[in-house]
Amino acid sequence: MKKALFTGAGVAIITPMHPDGSINFDKLGELLEFQIANGTDAIITCGTTGESATMTHEEHVEVIRYTVEKVGGRIPVIAGTGSNDTDYAIKLSQEAERLGVDGLLVVTPYYNKTSQRGLIRHYTMIADSVNLPIIVYNIPSRTGVTIKPETFAQLCKHPNIVADKEASGNISAVAQIKALCGDDLAIYSGNDDQIVPILSLGGSGVISVLSNVCPKQAHDICQLYFDGKVAESANLQLELLDLINALFMDVNPIPVKDAMNLMGMEVGECRMPLLTMDDQQKSALSGIMKKHGLLA
C-alpha cells in the first residue's frame, strides 16, 4: 500500500500578476498564508489554474522555489512539471525535486498526444528520473488524451506513481480505476462538483479550484466525509454547487481570478490569450458570491 501525498483538499493555486503581467510574489505569499490559515491540506503550484502554460522556464522554477520556501514544510507542496516533451518534463521534474517539493503533478502529453503504450513509457521515464511521488493528471478536455483504467493498472506498479488527479468527469472510469489499482493508486477529484462521488469510491480528496476562494469549505467537504458525516459532506458540496459552476462559467482560471479580485485580493488578470470576463458574466458571478457571503 502506497502512502497518499495528502488527504483532503489541495488548492490548485492561482498565480497572481502585476498589471504589467509579471508575477506578483508578494501577493503569492499572502495567498499561501491565507490558504494555510484556512485549513488547506496541500498546495499545488504551477498547474493549469496557475497559468503554467504561459510561464517561462525561469518563472516556473522561481514560483516553485518561492512556494517551497514560503510554505516551509507546514503542508505538502506539489509542483506541476508536466509537458508534451518527455525530456523537458524530466528536466523540470528533476529541477523541482532539487527545490524541495513534496511531489509532482504531471499532466498527460497534449497536442502531439500519444498512445496508451506511449503514456506508459512517458510516465515511466519521468518516474525513473526522480525520487518523488507523482500524481498523474488525467484531463482529456484539455489534452485530447484519456488514460484508460487498464493503463493506470500498469502505471501504478511503479513505486513513484502514487495518485491520479482525475478530471475526466467519468465516474464509471473512476470506479474501474479503483477496482484495478486498489491501494496502489490514490485518486483525487480534479472537478469540484465530483468531490463526494469520488470520495465514495475510495478517493483521497480533491485538487481544487474552489479552494482559492473557499479553502475552509473545500477542506470541510472532505473532512466531514472522512469523519463519517457523509450526509453533511454531500449537503455542503450541493450547497456550493452554484458557486463551483460559476467558477467555470469561462475558461479556468479566468472566473476564479475575477472572483478573487471581486473579493479585494488584487491578484491581477490572466495572461493572454485569456481575457477577463465581460460585465454580464462578472455580474452573474458577483450575485452568486454574495449569496455565499463572499461579498458584502
Q: Is 199 helix (H, G, I), strand (E, B) or coil?
A: helix
248 close to 255: Cβ distance less than 8 angstroms: yes
155 close to 120: Cβ distance less than 8 angstroms: yes
> Is 111 part of the annotated catalytic residue set?
no
In a 10 Å sphere around its CB, with 0-12 CB exposed, 13-18 middle and 19+ buried, how is residue 146 labelled? Answer: middle
108-148 pLDDT tens trace: 999 999 999 999 999 999 999 999 999 999 999 999 999 99
The candidate with the shortest Cα–Cα distance to 106, out of 119, 202, 42, 27, is 119
pLDDT of the residue at 252: 97
pLDDT of the residue at 72: 98
Q: Please give the angle made by the CA atoms of 16, 238 and 107, to the nearest 5 degrees.
A: 45
Answer yes or no: pTM beyond 0.85: yes
Length of the chain: 296
Task: Count the Cβ atoms, other than its own, within 10 Å of residue 261.
Answer: 16
pLDDT of the residue at 1: 66
Catalytic entry in 165, 178, 188, 257: 165
* Calpha distance 252→250 (Å, rounded): 6
Catalytic entry in 27, 70, 137, 225: 137
Confidence grade of residue 296 (pLDDT, cut at 50, 70, 90): confident
The candidate with the shortest Cα–Cα distance to 135, out of 73, 100, 171, 93, is 93
> Is 282 part of the annotated catalytic residue set?
no
What is the average pLDDT across 167-187? 97
Superfamily of domain 8-229: Aldolase class I (3.20.20.70)
49-97 pLDDT tens trace: 999 999 999 999 999 999 999 999 999 999 999 999 999 999 999 999 9
Q: Is 79 helix (H, G, I), strand (E, B) or coil?
A: strand
Q: What amino acid occupies position 86?
A: T
DSSP 23: B
Cell of 289: 458570491
For the cut 80, the answer to whether the pLDDT of residue 43 exceeds it is: yes
